[in-house]
Homo-oligomer: A and B are copies of this chain.
Amino acid sequence: MSSIRYALLSLLAREPLSGYDIKLQMNGRIGPFWKVGSNQVYPELSKMEAEGLVKLQGVEQHTYRPARKLYEVTEAGKEALIRWTVEPGGVENVRDDFLLKAYNAWLVEPEKMKVQVEEIRKLHEERLAAYEEKVEELKRIADPGKTDDPIASSISVVEFGVEYERLYIRWCDNFLKKL
């Protein structure tokens, strides 16, 4: 059920990370999709540690700061992740307030709606640029030919993001024309 745990495992399967790292990665560039709060990350890591899915790889201490706890997946964790990955199901959950607002466009003066659309359009332009850059960056370090290269999987997912943002921008332009 709770799939936040698999999000954490997916990241940890690639490299050891601290809870803070995970938060940054999920809320950063790739993460307009999938935000998490620290209240989810830290307790979930502890739980998974208790269940033997992850273990502490080490603790970095810089005297003045809280200790940085680096986690890595265990064999059991990797198996659990693989089991979940090939398990059927995985429908997306989309909740788009802007689209709901567009559904109400008929209630509002077109000029006011235009302001809204342009604001959102700008946001998606920014995301698009970030994703495109990310794809370039990943392609530079990818190892072509290897099918089990995590970078190849990353590229596919970020490319989805690129196409999604392009679609969103096209749709905004179309919507603006109709207003």
Query: Is A104 an interface residue when CB atoms closer than 8 A count as contact?
Result: yes
Q: Report the copy number of this chain in the oligomer.
A: 2
Asked if B10 and A100 make an inter-chain contact with CB atoms under 8 angstroms apart, the answer reads yes
How far does the Cβ of A139 sit from chain B's closest Cβ, in whole Å? 13
Q: Which of A99-121 contact B (CB under 8 A)?
A: 99-108, 110, 112-113, 115-116, 119-120
Asked if A149 and B106 make an inter-chain contact with CB atoms under 8 angstroms apart, the answer reads yes
Asked if B153 and A102 make an inter-chain contact with CB atoms under 8 angstroms apart, the answer reads yes
Query: Is A164 an interface residue when CB atoms closer than 8 A count as contact?
Result: yes
Asked if A150 and B92 make an inter-chain contact with CB atoms under 8 angstroms apart, the answer reads no
Query: Is A66 an interface residue when CB atoms closer than 8 A count as contact?
Result: no
Asked if B153 and A104 make an inter-chain contact with CB atoms under 8 angstroms apart, the answer reads yes
Given the interface contacts A153-B102, A178-B156, does A78 sit within 8 Å of B92 by beta carbon? Answer: no
The answer, among B91, B106, B149, for a CB contact under 8 Å with A150, is: B106
Q: Which of A107-157 contact B (CB under 8 A)?
A: 107-108, 110, 112-113, 115-116, 119-120, 123, 147-150, 152-154, 156-157
Asked if A113 and B86 make an inter-chain contact with CB atoms under 8 angstroms apart, the answer reads yes
How far does the Cβ of A157 sit from chain B's closest Cβ, in whole Å? 5
How far does the Cβ of A131 sit from chain B's closest Cβ, in whole Å? 13
Asked if A91 and B85 make an inter-chain contact with CB atoms under 8 angstroms apart, the answer reads no
Identify the A interface with B (CB < 8 A): 3, 6-7, 10, 13, 32-34, 78, 81-82, 84-86, 88-108, 110, 112-113, 115-116, 119-120, 123, 147-150, 152-154, 156-157, 159-160, 163-164, 167, 170-171, 174-175, 178-179
